[in-house]
Copies of this chain bind each other. A is one copy, B any other.
Amino acid sequence: MSTAEETGGDAQPWGEVTPDAARRLLVAAVEAFAERGYHATTTRDIAGRAGMSPAALYIHYKTKEELLHRISRIGHEKALDILRTAARGEGGAADRLADAVSSFVRWHAGGRTTARVVQYELDSLGPDARAEILALRRQVDAVVRAIIEEGVAAGEFDVLDVHGTTLAVLSLCIDVARWFNVDGPYTPEEVGALYADLVLRMVGAKPEGAGRR
């Protein structure tokens, strides 16, 4: 488990965005969208943060919305990757659920700037882009639900409503991006550990665990 600022494994967060200028613009857009919201951010502001003229933006991106779309897709893919890695881990369902929640939460808290845009600016996208992102979100939901279902089947968990509990677990994690660091005395790691414990309680996991922590 790394202690990098942006949890998830990459050396640098947006390394996959390839012309350097395009990456600088995208990073600038993430910051601006996170601070003021998509609609309150101007293309002049984004270009200015990247040290470029307003027109430069349109060499690398067709519209302002394409920037949001790219940010959202990359962010969701990373989030999905984090959850899948935890889900594939060793140990019982309780261990894997705790890992998934703590790493997912660490990503939302540590990369709050990114997570905020990814999770809260979704319906500033047009219908096609939104549909694509919603498909990724359904996969996120499926990964978490699968762990919970396995735990129930193995007798590790005591859950009345698997669908509703999955919804609540994800909701809890995602909302970290809204409140974290506003006046917070917690580190991302602390919130991750706290939330892993709370989620294990929510699913009625037997407290003994399998020798972890």
Q: Is the CB of A212 closer than 8 A to any CB of chain B?
A: no
A194→B39 contact, CB < 8 A: no
CB neighbours (8 Å) of A197 from chain B are: 160
Pick the contact of A172: B168, B194, B201 (CB < 8 A): B168
Taking the nearest CB of chain B, how far is it from the CB of A40, in angstroms? 4
Q: Is the CB of A111 closer than 8 A to any CB of chain B?
A: no
Taking the nearest CB of chain B, how far is it from the CB of A121, in angstroms? 9
Q: Is the CB of A164 closer than 8 A to any CB of chain B?
A: yes
How distant is the Cα of A190 from the Cα of B176 in the complex, in angstroms? 24
Residues on A lying within 8 angstroms of B by beta carbon are 37, 39-40, 120, 124, 160-161, 164-165, 167-168, 171-172, 174-176, 178-179, 186, 190-191, 194-195, 197-198, 201-202, 204
15 contacts between A and B (CB under 8 A): A37-B37, A37-B39, A39-B39, A40-B124, A160-B194, A161-B194, A164-B190, A167-B179, A168-B172, A168-B195, A171-B175, A171-B179, A172-B172, A172-B175, A175-B178
